[in-house]
Amino acid sequence: MNDSVLDPAAQRFAATPSAATAARYAVNVWYTLALLGHLIFVAYILAVFYPPIAAHGTAGLEGMHLPSGFREGDFLGNLAATAHVLLAAIVIGGGPLQLLPALRRRFPRFHRTLGRTYLTAACISALGGLYMVWTRGTVGDLVGHLTVSGDAVLILVFSALAVHHAIGRRIPEHRRWAMRLFMVASAVWFFRVGLMGWLMLTGGVGIDFETFTGPFLYVLGFAQYLLPLAVLEWYFRIQRGAGYREQWVFAATLTLLSLYMAVGIFAATAGMWLPRVTA
Ligand code: HEM
């Protein structure tokens, strides 16, 4: 979501240069952090899941940290779990690249091919996730299962709308739905970053670690997609032309959220994504 993701409406960032500049900087800082955090998560997915699956097929997930990963004799479930983690690399790696306007302008064919691959991977991942949650369960309780399932539904609906507008050559609408799709397809990334940032700042207030439930996790379950979607809608509004006060408030809010995101990315990298050194 850097300033020209925002194109062509970026030019309309309003008449007050300082407020407009602050909003643009805030968006660029947010995008740079999100790109970095996504790249670290992709590196983790490639390093942790690809080698065992390449060596042992679906059985590569056996004994890993995923309670829903591998069950002896459950071919379909194992296939869903394996496809889910393999395609995660395309979803997490491809999303931020699709937002880069320079890439879209200079390599339109690459943008279209990656877009189709990204959207297909996100839909299959969402269906695989739904299958795992409702046939195998996962950590957390019903609220957690419902909120992540809500994400799957949004991924499927937003994908359909992005394709619908692309087929109809309604490019601005297509772009808006594709950006909404990015927010919901990356919700699991926002969840991890939000959770680890909270752990670092509060030690885990509102979380029962035994059951992986609690008020904070319920709020985060919804916030993982509703908050990014709300900020994106606000951003669209700013692009359409907002007063300078609103631009300042937008810039300040996004900067605060980016600061929290930076803490979360640091904590998730240190606590989840860096290789474990075992003696
Ligand atoms: C499309 C975006 C998604 C991506 C990129 C993604 C990525 C991942 C990754 C990388 C893992 C491995 C866990 C880890 O090491 O961090 C995982 C596990 C899992 N995901 Fe997703 N996910 C997505 C969406 C979903 C959705 C929408 C659901 C549910 C409806 C879901 C359900 C699951 C489940 C059940 C597991 C296994 C957890 C366990 O074994 O307890 N995912 N996902």
Q: Whose CA is nearest to atom 42 of ligand 1?
A: 129
Among 31-40, 135-144, 183-192, the least confident range: 135-144
Please give the pLDDT value at position 202: 97
DSSP three-state, residue 208:
strand
141 φψ region: left (φ > 0), alpha (ψ -120 to 50), beta (else): beta
228's tokens: 């990014």
pLDDT at 119 over 70: yes
When pLDDT is cut at 50, 70 and 90, the band that residue 137 belongs to is confident
What's the predicted TM-score (pTM) here? 0.92
DSSP three-state, residue 15:
coil
Which of 216, 199, 189 lies closest to 122, judged by CA? Answer: 189
- Model confidence pLDDT, tens digit, residues 67-94: 888 898 889 999 999 999 999 999 999 9
133's tokens: 């949650």
Give me the residue label for tokens 């407009």.
Answer: 20
CA–CA gap between residue 246 and residue 242 (Å, rounded)? 6
Helix or strand run (H / E) with residue 205: none
Ligand 1 centroid to Cα of residue 149, in Å, is: 11
Q: Whose CA is nearest to atom 11 of ligand 1?
A: 85
- Asked whether 153 lines ligand 1 (CB < 6 A), one says no
Please give the pLDDT value at position 6: 47
pLDDT at 263 over 70: yes
When pLDDT is cut at 50, 70 and 90, the band that residue 66 belongs to is confident
Distance of CA 218 to the CA centre of its chain: 18
Report domain extents, the chain: 14-273
**Which is the closest atom of ligand 1 to the Cα of 133?**
35
Among 32-41, 100-109, 217-226, the least confident range: 100-109
When pLDDT is cut at 50, 70 and 90, the band that residue 2 belongs to is very low
- Whether the Cβ atoms of residue 1 and residue 235 lie closer than 8 Å to each other: yes
Ligand 1 centroid to Cα of residue 66, in Å, is: 9
Which whole number is the average pLDDT over 180-198? Answer: 98
Please give the pLDDT value at position 65: 83
Q: Is the dihedral of CA 129, 132, 135, 141 positive or negative?
A: negative
CB atoms within 10 A of CB 93: 19
The pLDDT mean for the chain works out to 92
Q: Whose CA is nearest to atom 37 of ligand 1?
A: 68
CA–CA gap between residue 18 and residue 6 (Å, rounded)? 18
94's tokens: 């491809």
Residue 96, preceding peptide bond in cis (omega within 30° of 0): no
CA–CA gap between residue 41 and residue 178 (Å, rounded)? 21
Distance of CA 162 to the CA centre of its chain: 17
Helix or strand run (H / E) with residue 123: helix 108-135
- Model confidence pLDDT, tens digit, residues 221-260: 999 999 999 999 999 999 988 788 999 999 999 999 999 9
Residue 270 amino acid letter: A
Give me the residue label for tokens 């909003």.
Answer: 23
